Chain A
Amino acid sequence: MKISIERGALLKAVGQAQSVVERRNTIPILANVLIEAEGNEVSFRATDLDIEVVDKAPAQVERAGATTVSAVTLHEIVRKLPDGALVTLIDDSSAGRLTVEAGRSNFSLATLPKEDFPLMASSEYDTNFSAPAPVLRRLFDKSKFAISTEETRYYLNGVYLHVATGDSGQVLRCVATDGHRLARIDAPLPSGAEGMAGVIVPRKTVNELRKLLENDETAIAVSVSETKVRFATPEITLTSKVIDGTFPDYTRVIPQGNTRKLVVDAAEFAQAVDRVATVSSERSRAVKLSLDEDRLILSVNAPDSGAAEEELGVAYSDEKLEIGFNAKYLLEIAGQVDRENAVFLFNSSGDPTLMREGDDTSAVYVVMPMRV
């Protein structure tokens, strides 16, 4: 194999591949990226056995072929090369080396045979549809903060992508929860997605997917089966196993009867929460919200370090209420509000609280209060 490729294109392609590679792994071949050159295209393929990414880039292919080389090392080299450089990759399979040449730099990297590289078994997809990048970006960006990190509840370690019935018919929906907060985000159902089986997309896949969604103009081809999900742009194909588990019935978690309504400027609210939380150094910092007639008092009382209080003018006309929350959860949820006002709906100080933007029910958040 011998190819020449522009440094920028190479960096982007290798960058995507190397982020899939697990930093600590015991199987040497999994640290490598599979480089395949044919026609006028080179592809970079990396896997951690759960996720596989293939990134194609245009290249001058002098001699077709394939080999594997350490993804991290190749990425580091390319990253350090000067912008605009033309990079030449020459595989000497008899010596087991890949030569990387750029200008006056010359590297020789150890390779492993391409036959050893594990390819993800191809499978049949039951549902195929196309969705604009901004739609998927909103679905996953707004829900992924609520993904659980508790390994024992592995079925919560991802975003539940499924078809549901929203206020105005069928929607494509993402739900994530860790038991303390929950995010439920809806988007109009793309044609072809009807009847899609619900899948739990793992956290790492969600993070990798994000890199495919940068460009607003891109249409993403989504394919879903019971065990796998695939997202593809013309250049990048991301295939991932889905979490083998049952996502809990989240509908009963979303409170329906919360009547006490608080309307607050989201940015102002988030800043105030952030400020008062400063005095507490505890891992779970509790912020108390005291609500009474268009007045919200945020307070933190940390016996060991100090106390803080801040008052905000808000819209609230229901019965007096005192309720506590983990400051971090409040900040994250308030951070999801794109427009001006966050609407909180409370029941009692012990019940889950609902948050949404205005009357928009396409993005709904639930957060569990904390005893204060």
Chain B
Amino acid sequence: MWTRGSVNRPDFGYHRAIMPALCRDCLHQFQTGPRCPACRSPRIVSHPELFDLTIAHMDCDAFYASVEKRDNPALRDQPVIIGGGRRGVVSTACYIARIKGVRSAMPMFQALKLCPEAVVVKPRMAAYVEASRAIRAMMDDLTPSIEPLSLDEAFLDLAGTARLHHAPPAAMLARLTKRMQSELGLTGSIGLSHNKFLAKVASDLDKPRGFSVIGAAETAAFLHDKPVRLIWGVGQAMQAALDRAGIRTFADLLRWDRKDLHARFGAMGDRLWHLARGQDHRRVSAHAPMKSISNETTFFEDTSDPDLLDGHIWRLSEKVSDRAKARNLAGRVVTLKLKRANHTLLTRRTSLHDPTQFADRIYRTARDLFDQLANQGPYRLIGVGLSDISAETTADLTGDLLDPDAAKRGDAERAADRIRAKFGHDAILKGRALR
């Protein structure tokens, strides 16, 4: 019997009897079998390279929604959508809502049409930041090589930690998700592989509460028929360019020379060539210099509806802020990007006085930029970015005379973060009571 954790069915000649396996409930290590010999749990992961792989990607399951369900158990069995009132776009949907077809970035009215019984909850960023910091602290126990991508996902490199922990990386990662669940009430999925690209791909294969492994030996076979949009960073535009070149799957990509790929796609071409071979040499690093943080979204259908666009600006600002906070960074230049239906690109940027990492300030600035564009829609894509990056210690230091509420909102968020960092998880309850 092949186990859940293995993503590829063919047998690579390993004898099953000697394939290492791990129980994700009791962390018992054993040889392949349908159930854990120690606790009889069926939640096992087994793979020939299970205890040799060191690069992981941890991705929380429906993070915002999970935090809301944890803090308000009445929501547990209900479809929950995170997204703010008039900003009519879905931030996160819980798995119950996803069954009905609700997705992130979907207009709220559409989501509610698909799932009218859904409970819509306004995002509580402070609570998510607090939960993220707690998870981060747990990851810090595993390895110093952590690269947070946003509040709810991070790369971890556990190379060389086996001796310290007296356990292989796979066991430590299983313990991490177990701790997240028991101590924080949040679940996450793990992707384990030999580089960042494949780790990220793997974490998405078995959500939620997943644990997927892509070994070196099976990489080529695994990628072969997969579409190239699996690559993080290949969005609609790149996809279209690849389509025109007749590249749809990794197998198509393999037929290209490195030189030709470079000629056609520039630096991205080189990267594609490597990725086609399952190679990704980027290191897991929390300190990788970051020049900008941006997020963008392509619409299901072109739109010039200002309310909907406003909703997207808010959601994207929040995402950008999330990622900045996860890396303790801030930025001074806010960029708004819009792509019109005819594919022409509009970008507008403006410099703030001092750097910020607040979603609120990013949103307001991007919104001002949006207001200054005469309506040139319909648009097919919108993006918000933050650049001129600096450390968060320089951010949001001076309040705004003309918007005293901004300072209050910022102070409240900061104070909440501090109190929770100091007094732990329970302080969240107090914070909620005050809201």
Contact = CB atoms under 8 A, between A and B. Distances in A.
A binds B: yes
Interface of A: 149-154, 177-182, 248, 253, 282-284, 286, 324, 326, 350, 352, 366, 368-372
B369 A152 contact: yes
A284 B401 contact: no
A179 B394 contact: no
Contact of A248 (B372, B397, B399, B402): B402
Nearest to A325: B398
B161 to A, nearest CB: 30
Given A152-B350, A283-B394, A284-B394, A366 B369 contact: no
A370 B353 CA distance: 12
Contact of A177 (B350, B394, B401): B401
Contacts of B401: 177, 179-182, 253, 352, 366, 368
Interface in B152-190: none
A368 B353 contact: no
Given A178-B353, A180-B400, A283-B394, 14 more contacts: A150-B350, A150-B352, A151-B350, A152-B350, A154-B372, A177-B401, A182-B401, A253-B401, A286-B397, A324-B397, A350-B399, A350-B411, A368-B398, A370-B398
12 contacts: A152-B369, A178-B353, A179-B401, A179-B403, A282-B394, A284-B398, A324-B397, A368-B401, A369-B399, A371-B397, A371-B398, A372-B397
A180 B368 contact: no
Contacts of A284: 353-354, 394, 397-398
Majority DSSP secondary structure for residues of A touching B: loop
In the A-B complex, the 5 residue pairs with the smallest Cβ-Cβ separation, listed nearest first, are: A152-B368, A179-B400, A370-B397, A370-B398, A253-B401
Contacts of B403: 179
**How big is the B interface, by class?**
10 to 19
Contacts of B399: 350, 368-369
A283 B330 CA distance: 14
A326 B398 contact: yes
A366 B411 CA distance: 21
Contacts of B407: 350
A370 B399 CA distance: 7
Interface string B361-389: 00001001100100000000000000000
B347 interface: no
B33 to A, nearest CB: 55
Contacts of A154: 372
Contacts of A153: 368
A177 B402 contact: yes
Interface of B: 350-354, 365, 368-369, 372, 394, 397-403, 407, 411
B402 A179 contact: yes
B402 to A, nearest CB: 5
Nearest to A366: B401
Nearest to A324: B397
B378 to A, nearest CB: 23
B351 A369 contact: no
Contacts of B365: 152
Contacts of A350: 399, 407, 411
A372 to B, nearest CB: 8
A351 to B, nearest CB: 9
A129 B66 CA distance: 67
A178 to B, nearest CB: 7
Contacts of A179: 353, 400-403
B415 to A, nearest CB: 12
Nearest to B407: A350
A165 to B, nearest CB: 21
A153 B351 CA distance: 11
Most buried by A among B352, B394, B400, B403: B400
Contacts of A286: 397
A112 to B, nearest CB: 30
Nearest to A154: B372
Contact of B353 (A180, A182, A253): A180
A368 B394 contact: no
Contact of B354 (A151, A152, A181, A283): A283
A370 B403 CA distance: 15
Most buried by B among A182, A368, A370: A368
Contacts of A181: 401
B98 to A, nearest CB: 37
Contacts of B411: 350
Most buried by A among B372, B394, B397: B397
Nearest to B365: A152
Contacts of B354: 283-284
A147 B397 CA distance: 20
